[in-house]
Amino acid sequence: MSTPAPASAVRTAGPSWWSMTVDRLKVELKEFVRSREQMIFIFFFPMIFLVMFGMIFNTDDLYGTGVSFGQYFLAGMIATGIINTGFQSLAISLSIDRDEDVLKRIHATPLPPTAYFAGKIAQVLVVSVVQNALLIAMGVGLYGVEMPTQASQWWTFTWVFLLGNAASTVLGIATSSLLRNGKAASAILTPVVLVLQFTSGVFVVFTQLPGWMQDFASIFPLKWLAQGMRSVFLPEHFEAAEASGSWQLPMGALMLTLWFVIGLVVSVRTFRWLRPEDR
């Protein structure tokens, strides 16, 4: 007759990677909902801009193209919303968490780093989906924006949205480690994002910008995000009004992928769990 193993010898299975990731996602979403500043920045700022610019530049025939400004501007606001959520907001929040030793405490727990970042990325994706849904609803309700009717357009929206989120998220993680501290993060990143918005065809029609500004914007992902979204929400004939006479979707996919790879490499090599003075 065998002797039962002592209780100390009985091992219980630990939580799986997936369960830890889901739990981390829940924590991230709760923290986001409880942060009024983040909620206002992510949700209400783009909505306010959509209303204000739509009222100021209210026209149903943008430069003789037969496209309303609301239709054009919605595509740009969706693109900049992705950048704001994945790049700017994430970089600032990570910098603040590092300053307040939140990252240090998380790193000391059994939570795998990959589960932590997966939870962060999933939270950004969920928030971005909600943000885009609100912007599209406002565009349809206030400006009569017509939704895409072809499956190919929705496929373009899907891959531009996912690739844009991936690139902006890893760039946000990478930038958080390059910033000296959380206090300076907002002051540094806000002007950077504003410059990109004004040069990437978000607030101003891209072809109305000087050539050197167009060349400058073409280096960065926001221009390609905005152009990709315009290919979804604007009629086919507007393609001829683009700077190159084309939506340049293959080039957009290449540039967003390139920025994703750059952000991923920098994140892996430079991410810090501790404040600089603690190392």
At 201-214, the pLDDT tens digits run: 888 889 889 999 99
Q: What pLDDT sits at residue 5?
A: 54
Residue found by looking up tokens 């501790």 in the block: 274
At 120-136, the pLDDT tens digits run: 999 999 999 999 999 99
Report domain extents, the chain. 17-278
- Identify whether the C-beta of residue 177 lies closer than 8 Å to the C-beta of residue 271: yes
What is the pTM (predicted TM-score) of this model?
A: 0.89
Q: Mean pLDDT across the chain, nearest whole number?
A: 87
Residue found by looking up tokens 């607030």 in the block: 203
Does 9 have pLDDT greater than 70? no
Q: What pLDDT sits at residue 186?
A: 84
Does 237 have pLDDT greater than 60? yes
Distance of CA 175 to CAs 183, 263, 272, 279, Å?
14, 8, 11, 19
- Identify whether the C-beta of residue 219 lies closer than 8 Å to the C-beta of residue 258: no
Higher pLDDT, 108 or 67: 108
At 29-49, the pLDDT tens digits run: 998 888 877 788 788 888 888
Q: What pLDDT sits at residue 6?
A: 55
At 150-188, the pLDDT tens digits run: 999 999 999 999 999 999 999 999 999 888 777 788 888
Distance, CA of 79 to CA of 82 (rounded, Å): 5
Cα dihedral 47→48→49→52 (10° resolution): 130
Both structure tokens of 59:
């026209």
Higher pLDDT, 10 or 236: 236
